[in-house]
């Protein structure tokens, strides 16, 4: 399909059958005709509210139908969808609205009160998780929702507006703002175009479905990842909706995810490792319903191969041809850059680039690394960002061109390519450290320590010992295990024998649990702050 158009136009072009189911929400099935009618009506409301091409509209919603309708409506009129995590603080929310020049907001009704001071004089649409639920579930949940929302209007009250014609676009304009840590670790607002996401959708299909079963009209994606996450938007929403149907999950709950797989005949999953680890531990994970699953995409964090082998074994036992396939990506490249194909996964490899993408590892002295040699990943892709909002210096710092004029993004990630072009991510540049001139990668230590039966999970952080750099290890222990001198010695010996003596942690601390980011990653930055322990 044509990628040089808006995401809305790409979706519209891809859907031929108006009766085809596109969204499933707690049993309510929304077909393509209703999807596009609602998008058109929401677009009409935005035009009536004075929103013009190039204006920014914030969407601070969980995975509910209104989030999909609002996103594509904003895109249809040429606006920029400013995707905000609904759980951000009031100060952060206000700061994001000001930075992006937001002109209208779609907000989860339960957080409206917290942010109402930031929403004065901004057209605001309050959305509830119950609106598109069937009765009696809808009636029960409505009792818990706020009755008064000040100047905000309810989503259901904007659906009477006449549909407007979508704007014509070549897909190159800013279309999405996603708030990210940035390749250098500083908070950034990444600007992405419609064309970038359209190309991602095409590349996913052209790369993934060359082996095994192709996509079928009755395939179903379970959207566990939030729409404000590039992985969720690009794969679970845009790629899936343009070809199959998507089951929306407002909040990830592992047992509920397992029930949804069974109830809705889910064939496709995408998520981060922590999600699959939690699903695997639930009693309702295993069963004949797993047979229908044909593809699972895993990214956003390092995959523990102990979990992968356990997960894959259960899938195989119940007749599923799928396996956890690890990929590599970053928001600046529309979240997904590479995937592993079923049957081609190997420990420590994040697959090969999607069709049309290219990658190289560059050493500290600026030369292209040989296979197996560690360097910083530089990537080139039709799905690269347009830049960082309001930060021309930061944008210039991460982009470069080679002698042929090809544009590359410096990722800030360290790793190597194998002889077959497989990507082996080692560490974020900002997280690695040197001890005695040797590169030490905390994630490698974590992988080794996680292999011990006494360890449930762990985190390695950079520290100092007598003024010199070292590593510190935080461990969550399995039940009936305590951290004593014998276990500490066992851990240190295991790391020394598996890696190198410089990787051995100088300090080992037992904690009840590990702090995580909103996306489920272990928050190592928190543990590197003074006084956090």
Query: Span 433-527: which CATH code?
Result: 3.30.300.30
Distance CA 5, CA 198 (A): 8
Q: Order of strands across the sheet with 28-31?
A: 28-31, 21-25, 245-248, 220-223, 268-271, 295-298, 324-328, 338-339, 352-353
Distance CA 220, CA 218 (A): 6
- Per-residue confidence (pLDDT) for residue 150, from 0 to 100: 84
Query: Span 7-328: which CATH code?
Result: 3.40.50.12780
Distance CA 161, CA 195 (A): 28
Q: Where in the chain is the domain with CATH 3.30.300.30?
A: 433-527
DSSP H helical ranges for 101-159 = 112-115, 137-142
Q: Where in the chain is the domain with CATH 3.40.50.12780?
A: 7-328
Q: What tens-digit pLDDT sequence spans the chain (533 residues)?
A: 899 999 999 999 999 999 999 999 999 999 999 999 999 999 999 999 999 999 999 999 999 999 999 999 999 999 999 999 998 889 889 999 999 999 999 999 999 999 999 999 999 999 999 999 999 899 888 888 888 788 899 999 999 899 888 999 999 999 999 998 654 445 799 999 999 999 999 999 999 987 666 789 899 999 999 999 999 999 999 999 999 999 999 999 999 999 999 999 999 999 999 899 999 999 999 999 999 999 999 998 888 888 999 999 999 999 999 999 999 999 999 999 999 988 887 778 999 999 999 999 999 999 999 999 999 999 999 999 999 999 999 999 999 999 999 999 999 999 999 999 999 998 888 888 888 778 888 988 998 999 999 999 999 999 988 888 999 999 999 999 999 999 999 999 999 999 989 999 999 999 999 998 776 778 888 898 765 66
Number of H helices, E strands in the chain: 16, 27
**Structure token pair of residue 202:** 């095409």
State pTM to two decimals: 0.88
Backbone φ and ψ for 73, nearest 5 degrees, come out as -65, -45
**Structure token pair of residue 37:** 């009618």
């Amino acid at each position: 399909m044509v990628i040089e158009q808006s995401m809305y136009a790409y979706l519209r072009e891809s859907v031929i059958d108006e009766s085809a189911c596109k969204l499933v929400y707690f049993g309510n099935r929304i077909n393509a005709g209703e999807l596009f009618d609602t998008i058109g009506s929401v677009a009409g409301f935005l035009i009536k509210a004075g929103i013009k091409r190039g204006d920014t509209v914030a969407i601070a919603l969980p995975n509910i139908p209104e989030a999909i309708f609002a996103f594509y409506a904003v895109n249809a009129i040429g606006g920029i969808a400013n995707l905000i995590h609904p759980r951000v603080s009031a100060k952060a929310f206000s700061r994001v609205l000001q930075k992006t020049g937001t002109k209208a907001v779609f907000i989860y009704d339960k957080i409206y009160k917290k942010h109402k001071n930031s929403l004065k004089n901004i057209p605001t649409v309050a959305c509830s998780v119950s609106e598109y639920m069937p009765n009696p579930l809808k009636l029960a949940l409505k009792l818990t929702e706020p009755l008064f929302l000040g100047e905000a209007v309810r989503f259901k009250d904007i659906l009477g507006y006449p549909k407007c014609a979508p704007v014509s676009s070549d897909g190159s304009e800013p279309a999405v703002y996603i708030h990210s840590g940035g390749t250098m670790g500083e908070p950034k607002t990444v600007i992405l175009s419609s064309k970038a996401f359209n190309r991602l959708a095409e590349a996913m299909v052209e790369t993934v479905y060359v082996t095994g079963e192709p996509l079928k009209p009755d395939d179903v994606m379970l959207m566990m990842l939030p729409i404000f996450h590039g992985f969720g938007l690009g794969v679970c929403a845009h790629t899936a909706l343009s070809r199959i149907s998507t089951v929306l999950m407002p909040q990830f709950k592992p047992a509920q995810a397992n029930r949804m797989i069974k109830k809705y005949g889910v064939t496709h999953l995408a998520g981060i490792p922590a999600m699959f680890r939690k699903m695997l531990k639930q009693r309702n994970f295993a069963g004949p319903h797993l047979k229908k699953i044909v593809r699972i995409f895993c990214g956003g964090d390092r995959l523990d191969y102990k979990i992968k082998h356990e997960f894959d074994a259960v899938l195989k036992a119940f007749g599923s041809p799928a396996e956890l396939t690890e990929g590599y990506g970053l928001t600046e490249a529309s979240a997904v850059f590479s995937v592993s194909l079923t049957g081609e996964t190997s420990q420590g490899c994040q697959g090969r680039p999607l069709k049309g993408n290219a990658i190289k590892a560059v050493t500290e002295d600026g030369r292209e690394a040989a296979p197996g040699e560690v360097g910083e990943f530089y990537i080139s892709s039709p799905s690269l960002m347009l830049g960082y909002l309001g930060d021309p210096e930061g944008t210039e710092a991460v982009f470069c061109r080679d002698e042929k004029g090809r544009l590359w993004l410096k990722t800030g990630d360290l790793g190597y390519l194998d002889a077959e072009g497989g990507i082996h991510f080692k560490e974020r540049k900002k997280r690695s450290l040197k001890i005695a001139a040797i590169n030490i990668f905390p994630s490698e230590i974590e992988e080794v320590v996680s292999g011990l039966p006494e360890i449930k999970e762990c985190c390695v952080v950079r520290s100092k010992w007598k003024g010199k750099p070292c590593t510190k290890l935080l461990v969550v222990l399995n039940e009936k295990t305590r951290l004593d001198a014998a276990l500490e010695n066992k851990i240190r010996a295991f790391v020394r024998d598996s890696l190198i003596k410089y990787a051995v942690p100088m300090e080992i601390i037992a904690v009840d649990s590990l702090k995580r980011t909103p996306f489920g990653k272990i928050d190592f930055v928190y543990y590197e702050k003074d006084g956090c322990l």
